[in-house]
Amino acid sequence: MPLLQVDQLVKDYGDVRALHGIDFDVDAGEFVAVIGPSGSGKTTLIRCINRLIEPTEGDIHFDGNAMRTLKGADLRAARARMGMIFQHYNLVTRLSVLENVLHGRLGYKSTMAGIFGFYSDEEKEKAVEVLTLLGLDAFVYRRSDQLSGGQKQRVGIARALVQDPRMILCDEPISSLDPSSSKVIMDYLKKIQTELGITLFVNLHQVDVAKRYADRILGFREGRLVFDGPPADLSGDVIRDIYGTEAGELIIE
C-alpha cells in the first residue's frame, strides 16, 4: 500500500478553485518533487496533505490513516509522522538552535508539557545527534537569529527529523537561499532519503534542481496535475505545457 494516497482532492477559496480533483500516490522512500508556476496550487496541496488548511472535497490517506477524519490527539499523532519544512524557516529566533529543534517533539506531548518545555534527556540527545548529522553540532546553544539562511533551514530540517517522521513535506525549502546554500540543503535532503529511508515530498521552483534530485516529478498548472513521471520524461514540450511557452523556453535553456 502506498504511504500517501490523494484521491480527488479539491480546494476552493470562495469562488476560486485552487485544486481540481487531484489524484496521486506516493510510495515509502520516494523523493517526489512538485513543480509549477506561482499560483499553480503547490503550497495549497502540501498544506491540505497535513491539514494546515482544510480540503473542500476528496480524501487523503497517510500511513493507513484517513487524514480528513482525524481530530485532536489522533491528528497530532499523524502530523508527528509527517514532518514539515517551511520556506522561511519558521523558527523562534530568540530561542537557541536546540530549543527550536526540540519543538519538533511537541506532537508527542501533552499541552502542559509543551507549554513548560519538558523534554527528556533522550529527546535532547536525539536533537543533538540530528544537529550533528546536519553539521550544526557547533551551533547547538546559539540563538537562531545569529545563523545564516542555510543554517536556519538546516535547523528546520533537524526539527522535522526529531519527529521520527515517515515523510517530510518541504514547501519551497531553497527559494530564499543562494545557490551554494541551496545545494547544501538539497544534498542533505537527498541524504535523508537515501540513508534514513524517509519519504520526501518537495515543492520547488527550480526545474533543474527537481530533475537532479527527485525520483519522480509532479507538474501543476492552474490547480491541475498535468505531469506525473520520472525526470527523464520531463521534456521541453512538457515544461512548456506546465509553465507556458515563453517561460518554458527560458527554463529549457
| Residue 53, burial from CB neighbour count under 10 angstroms (0-12, 13-18, 19+) | middle
Strand, coil or helix: 214: coil
Give residue 29's pLDDT.
96
Point out the least confidently predicted range of 34-48, 181-195, 235-249.
Answer: 235-249
Percent of the chain at pLDDT exceeding 90 = 79
Strand ranges inside 49-114, DSSP E: 57-62, 65-66, 82-85
Give residue 214's pLDDT.
97
How many angstroms separate the CA atoms of 129 and 124, rounded?
9
Read off the pLDDT of residues 2-30 as tens digits, 9 standing for 90 and up.
999 999 999 999 999 999 999 999 999 99
What residue spans define the domains of the chain? 1-81+166-253, 94-164
How many Å is the maximal CA-CA distance in the chain?
Answer: 56
Give residue 90's pLDDT.
85
More confident residue, 118 or 39: 39
Q: What angle do CA 122, 156, 47 make, to 5 degrees?
A: 115
Read off the pLDDT of residues 171-227 as tens digits, 9 standing for 90 and up.
999 988 999 999 999 999 999 999 999 999 999 999 999 999 999 999 999 999 999
Q: Over 80: is that where the pLDDT of 107 sits?
A: no
Task: Work out the mean pLDDT of the chain and round it to a whole number.
Answer: 91
Q: pLDDT category, 87, cuts 50, 70, 90?
A: confident
Q: Over 70: is that where the pLDDT of 61 sits?
A: yes
Percent of the chain at pLDDT exceeding 70 = 92
How many angstroms separate the CA atoms of 191 and 37, rounded?
27
Nearest CA to 43 out of 193, 250, 201, 241 is that of 201
Q: If you compute the radius of gyration of the chain from its CA atoms, what whole number of angstroms results? A: 18
Q: Over 90: is that where the pLDDT of 151 sits?
A: yes
Nearest CA to 204 out of 230, 182, 236 is that of 182
Q: Over 60: is that where the pLDDT of 251 sits?
A: no
Give residue 170's pLDDT.
95
| Over residues 157-181, mean pLDDT | 93
Q: Over 80: is that where the pLDDT of 33 sits?
A: yes
Q: Over 60: is that where the pLDDT of 60 sits?
A: yes
Give residue 253's pLDDT.
45
Q: Over 50: is that where the pLDDT of 138 sits?
A: yes
Q: pLDDT category, 234, cuts 50, 70, 90?
A: very high
Q: pLDDT category, 244, cuts 50, 70, 90?
A: confident
Q: What CATH number should be reported for the domain whose range is 1-81+166-253? A: 3.40.50.300
